[in-house]
Structure 1
């Protein structure tokens, strides 16, 4: 997903293109990683100091509903990032330090389950959490 694509999705779904929504899209585009609602609010308050969590959560829910962001949960907190886009089925490796993801182009469900009898799978989600090489190196340096 890119900046223009996200803004087109808003327009196509009949939502107003406000300064706050544009800024929210810009935050996700610039960060290119999973963000908590608190992180989003912190970035947004640079331009909108009176912004509330309610406004953030309402717009994050809207963005999720219309396919601009996708969510995951770790450490008991919901996190958001731009949707990958495209129709290719895939899963993610997610760094729990920086929130960046890497795509897995193979589906573990095929190896685990195959095609079950008398059951149509309509969807699933598979994510692997860990530490990316950049964060692992940063942690090693900080321990010295």
Structure 2
């Protein structure tokens, strides 16, 4: 998967730096969604000279190119990241622990969104994060 993403970046005229390659490889190796700090910690295992600013700068570029998704956890000032999948999907985010999980389908009707937006607005995409509490956090609150 990483080589497919790297080739897509090359096709879009993006230079493939060692830092960008490392970020993509780290994201591909995670089962869950890492924070920027967790990405940096993994990169430091091979290259201790990379800084957090470099990681954020590259994450922002890769987000703008549609290669990475950013998931926000409200109330925790926390953002986690994932490689953008071929299949469009959304996320369930726990407000207690910040865990995010994929909702592997899209519950949004594009025609309804376009009707609400009006004829003058061209929709090119959407993102949905559904917030609540996971079973562990609900049990801990009892």
Q: TM-score, normalised by structure 2?
A: 0.72
Gaps of 5+ in 2: none
* Cα distance, 1:114–1:79 mapped onto 2, change above 3 Å: same
Using the alignment, how far apart are the partners of 1:91 and 1:83 within structure 2? 11
Using the alignment, how far apart are the partners of 1:113 and 1:43 within structure 2? 40
* Cα distance, 1:29–1:100 mapped onto 2, change above 3 Å: farther
Find the counterpart in structure 1 of residue 43 from structure 2.
44
8 Å CA contact retained: 1:91, 1:104: yes
Find the counterpart in structure 1 of residue 22 from structure 2.
23
* Cα distance, 1:68–1:32 mapped onto 2, change above 3 Å: farther
Find the counterpart in structure 2 of residue 76 from structure 1.
77
Structure 1 segments of 4 or more deviating over 3 A?
94-100, 112-121, 129-133
Q: CA RMSD in A?
A: 3.1
Using the alignment, how far apart are the partners of 1:114 and 1:131 within structure 2? 30
Q: CA deviation at 1:99?
A: 4.1
Whose relative contact order is higher, 1 or 2, with alpha carbons under 8 Å and at least 6 apart?
Answer: 1
